[in-house]
Each structure stands twice: as structure tokens, then as C-alpha cells.
A and B are shown apart, each in its own frame.
Chain A
């Protein structure tokens, strides 16, 4: 029963969806403060390569090594995000062009490739990886075994992050301030909220999440480093934020749905199921579905209750408001 296609798809959908979820949560934080960061793909690749590097170089117990790797990945993501933050918040550059530049700078033909090749990380398996945490007996339970108990710690941490971010944005003073900054920075400024500080903090936090998302790929999902390993996951994560109407709990649902779509290609190939050009359509499915869902979400009635932060993409200059 646990080998049925549906159960395996849901279980691996959760696994494949976890990097998407981390990246989307990070982008959600940045966008809620009014900063659009299209550099997610680049920041993920930065986190992916440096997280992998840490696991190869840090010689300590498994738990400490992996924690250090996550910390380094988050730091790299935040550092890359700080470039974006400085340029768009302080120097008021175009958020769209700057985010794209960040992806090009850090991405598959830039920094991540420079670091990965320079540090000789290609074509070696990860020394330590994130493995399922629950005992084998629990993992063999029907249905819930592989889906709920067969996951690694990063999956459970991501659930905590969803709850924490949901509580933060809806129940705490700083969380409400972030929303004010994203909706109407001028009003927030009048209330005495430091718009610049909030935007910096959340853009950097978004970068840290993207870095962890990258490390999730190289240390848990496919434990190795290959140039351009994210394969567009960062862009799907940005789209996820739109589908989820900027709400963390819906990010989770969307991430697992797209995770399952990504898991479909290897599963069908492993089972020798073919329907026409299977490799082509199963690999293209996540991208095509993302586009279709974007169209549904952005047109008609859905648009009215979209919930996009009103000041998303606009620099805030006190003298010009």
C-alpha cells in the first residue's frame, strides 16, 4: 500500500516541496514588507553550494555539522539579499532589474558556479545528509508512515516556520508593523515605524530562508552539488507567493502540490509508465502548471481578494510622499 503511486507521490511531494516552501516563506516575508526580490533562484544556489561546502569541510558530529551547514547557507542567502536590500532600499534602484541581476550574479553562470568549481565540490556525494528522524517501525505504518513519519527534520522545521510566520504576521506587534510597511509606508512612517529598518530586516530574512531552501536541495533532496541544481525552483517559489495570496499556510499547500508535480517525472520513469513523450511532459508539467495557476489566480474574481501588499515594488522616499 505504501508503494502505491499516490502515497509515494504525496510523500515525495512533501520532500520536493520543502525547498519550495522555505524559499516561498522567505519571499513572502520580503514582499510583505514591500520588497520584491527576484533573486530567489540566485540566493538558493548560493545557499546550496555553501551549505554543501560546509558539510564537506566541517569535521564534527553529524548534528553539529548539519546545523553549521544550515547556518552558513542562511548566512550566504542573507549576504546576497543584503546587496539587493542596499541597492533597492537605500539607493532606490529598480527592484525588478536588481533582483534579476542578483540571480544572474549568484546563479548558474556566476558566483555559485565560481564557488562550486573553485572549491571542488562537483561530482562528490554529500558526506552527511538529512535523514528520516522517526524509527523504521513508524515509517512503515500504512499511508501516514511515509508521508508524515518518513521525512527529515527540515520538513518538520518548515512546519514550525509556517506556524511561526503565521503567528508573527497576524498576532504580534512587529508582524502588524511589517504589513503596515508593505501596504502604506508613508502611514507607517507617520506612526513612527522605521520603514527602512523593517524592509532591510525582512529582505535579509527572506535571503536566509532562500539559502536554507538551497541547502535543503543539496543536503536532503539530492545530496550532491551540480551547477544550477535548483532548476527554476526559485522562480516557482516566487509564483507560489502569488498563488497563496501572500499567506504562509497556503504556501504550504501550494509547495506540496508543486513538489508532487516535480516528483511525478522520476516516479513514472521508475515504474516504466509511459504516455506519449513522457520525459518531456512530466518534466515540463511543473512549469506549465505554474503558468496555468498564475493565469487563474491573476484573472477575474480572484484578483479582487488577492492580498498583494499595496506598496510592493515601490521604493519609499519620505520627501516624495
Chain B
């Protein structure tokens, strides 16, 4: 018997759905073995996970708090990765969006203007902050051909240091300097009420509050999808991602495309940062053990890769992974060790990456001798 591995000429659509789902199931199976080996009952652990993530009353509120930033980060990664620009700087771009967004909220919210104005300004400022930070690796890639993976990643650390500096090491505009607490532990200045983003309560499962950011994330998903599928920009950047030489022959302005894709990706990540301040924290969080420790930007890459960089699938996966992450932090304790959810996410993505071979190749098991099978496979290559 001989197993021949052949490249698929056409990739059936159903495989793109079945393979990720199969990998999730496989990952839970592998993780169950790990849990068994460490003496933890996997079934009750999984039941706890799903209860705490999706089923208990109030759990969906909490899940949306992790889902919203993950959706933004996932979309930021998807927008860049699908044209093979590996922007792994969504984390830092989110910090910059939070810094710019909260500045706008603090400045305009205090002026007594109409409520939509400060919020709209925060959205724009957040996008701008992320955009600026993403354009640094973008410009370096476009004009100096510097590897964007390393530059965008290293800038995450720089952005984190700036964030901490603004709250902990300086008397900046963002820092709360009045009151007793401010002298004991440095915190960000709270947003004025007119800059706090609204949420809407749905009457399901005892009332679920959907923050404005969640709607904006869906909108961002539609925009990213539309730009990629329905515009010339999307088509040209796709060509660039597949083959730079082909793009050059076709007259695509390569530098502009790189800059535009990085700007889009950064703007989405920055919007996520503004939503973090406006929707949830209501002040700039400079604590190195706070926002910076969660690593939404990195998990966003997992989300986007699992969704195979499809914007709508990214939103869905962000919800699932968000629930998992929320359950992980709710349950964290002696019986539910920290980092387990990260391990689970890693295994899920590893299985999805491994499963990709089933999408791209097909396995043909034959009883013929080796030589015959090889010559039969030749015309396909």
C-alpha cells in the first residue's frame, strides 16, 4: 500500500469549514489528555469553562468584554496577514489608540459638548493613533525593505513603555494627580461622563449589555471585508501578497499598497484601544500588570489565523475565544491553573495549522507500487 500526497487543484469550500472545526475538536481531545496526565478531570473542567464563558447569567456580559478587543485585534491581524504583511504589532497599536483616544475623550468630554462629539472624536483619534504606530513598520518595509515582523513586534515593547511612562513615571495629561488615591497608587485620569461609550441591553439570558465597541467591531469587519472583496485596492493588495513580481508587472504601486494595508490594520487595532478606554476601563491603564499583561494583540493573531483571515469568521472566532479567555480568568485558582487557556489556544491553532495540509493536499491511498504512483501523480504537479 502506498500513500501519495498530491496538491489539490481545487480546494472544496466545505473543507475550509470542516478542517478548523475538526482541529478545535482535536485540540480539546489533546488538551484533555494533558489534563488527565496532570490529574485534573477534563470533562468537568470543560463544563466549567463553557458555563463560565457562555451559559451562567452575566457570563455573556463578561465574554463581550474580552470578545470586543479580540475582535478588533483579530481583524487588524486578518487585514494585514491575508495579503502576507505580517503586522504583529497590533498590541502596541492598541496602546497607541488608547493613548490618543483617551486624550481626545479627556479634552473634549470636559467641554460640555453634545455627547456624540467626544465619542466620535475618540473613535477618530484611536484610529489615528494605531495608524501612526503601524505606519512606522509600514514605511520601513515600503522604503527600506525592513522585515515588518520584527519591527512591528519590537514596537509593542516601546509602546508599552510609553504607556507605563505616561501613568507611572510622569505627571502627564493622562494621569490622575488629584485626590488621596493618586498619591498612593498612580492611575489614569477618569473620562468625563460624556466621553464614556454607551452600551445597549438586549433582553436575552437575563439582559446582556452590548457595548458600542462590539458594534464598531462588526462594522470594522464589514469594512475590512468590503475593502478586500469589493474594491480595486483589495484586489491589488491580494496580488501583491501572492506575488510581488506579478504585482509590479501589473503596475501596482507597491509602496502605497504596503502603507495602505498597514494603515488599515493599525487603525483597526487603534480603534480597539480607544474602545478599551471608552467602553471598559474609562481611564488610560498604564499598569504593566494590567492591559499589557493580557496580550490581546497576540491572541488576535490566533483568532485571525483560526478564521483563515476571513473578517466575518474572525468575529465569530473572537466570540468563542473571548468566551474561553473570560472563563479562564473567572475560574483561575488552585484547581484551574493560569495559562491553561493560553495552552488550549495554542493547541487549537497548532491543530488548525496542521489540518491545513488537508485543505491544500489530498492523500490518495493506492495498492500500486511506488514507481507507478509517482508517475501517475506527475501531471498534477
Binding site for B on A (CB under 8 A): 38, 83, 86-87, 91-94, 96-98, 100-118, 228, 231-232, 235-236, 238-239, 242, 277, 279-280, 283-284, 287-288, 290-291, 294-295, 298-299, 303, 319-320
Contacts and interface: CB of A to CB of B under 8 A. Distances in A.
Contacts of A288: 154, 158
Nearest to B170: A277
Given A298-B145, A298-B146, A291 B154 contact: yes
A295 B150 contact: no
23 contacts: A86-B354, A87-B354, A92-B357, A92-B361, A93-B354, A96-B149, A97-B305, A98-B350, A101-B353, A104-B349, A109-B339, A109-B342, A111-B346, A114-B342, A115-B339, A117-B338, A118-B337, A228-B293, A277-B169, A294-B146, A295-B140, A319-B378, A319-B381
A280 B150 CA distance: 21
Contact of A299 (B145, B301, B350): B145
Contacts of A104: 295, 298-299, 301-302, 342, 345-346, 349
B155 interface: yes
Given A110-B343, A295-B144, A319-B381, A91 B354 contact: yes
B162 interface: yes
B150 A110 contact: no
A291 B337 contact: no
B219 interface: no
A186 to B, nearest CB: 13
Contacts of B295: 104, 108-109
Given A109-B295, A113-B338, A287-B158, A239 B150 contact: yes
B153 interface: yes
Interface string B134-170: 0000001001111101110111011001100100011
A111 B350 contact: no
B356 A287 contact: no
B147 to A, nearest CB: 7
Contacts of B345: 104-105, 110
B144 A287 contact: no
A236 B339 CA distance: 24
Contact of B337 (A38, A108, A114, A242): A114
A200 B170 CA distance: 50
A107 B349 CA distance: 14
Contacts of B293: 108-109, 228
Contacts of B354: 86-87, 91, 93
Contact of B147 (A83, A92, A100, A242): A242
B337 A287 contact: no
A20 B77 CA distance: 28
Contacts of A97: 81, 301, 305, 353
Given A109-B294, A284-B162, 15 more contacts: A91-B353, A94-B356, A97-B301, A105-B345, A110-B342, A116-B339, A117-B338, A239-B154, A277-B170, A280-B165, A284-B161, A287-B158, A291-B151, A295-B140, A320-B381
Contact of A291 (B140, B298, B347): B140
B340 interface: yes
B356 A110 contact: no
Interface secondary structure of B, over-half rule: helix
A12 B147 CA distance: 29
B370 to A, nearest CB: 13
B301 A110 contact: no
B133 interface: no
Given A101-B353, A105-B350, A303 B169 contact: no
Contacts of A295: 140, 144, 146
A139 to B, nearest CB: 33
Interface string B79-113: 00100001010000000000000000000000000
A84 to B, nearest CB: 9
A77 to B, nearest CB: 16
B21 interface: no
A274 to B, nearest CB: 11
A83 B350 CA distance: 8
Interface in B2-51: 5, 7, 38
B151 A98 contact: no
A105 B342 contact: yes
Contacts of B165: 277, 279-280
Contacts of B150: 235, 238-239, 242, 290-291, 294
Nearest to A296: B144
Nearest to B165: A280
A72 to B, nearest CB: 18
A94 B356 CA distance: 9
For the complex of A and B, the 3 pairs showing the least CB-CB separation, nearest first, are A105-B346, A114-B339, A110-B342
A107 B302 CA distance: 13
A242 to B, nearest CB: 7
Contacts of B143: 299
A279 B169 contact: yes
A107 B153 CA distance: 14
Among A107, A287, A288, max chain B CB count under 10 A is at: A287
B73 to A, nearest CB: 12
B91 to A, nearest CB: 11
Contact of B161 (A113, A280, A320): A280
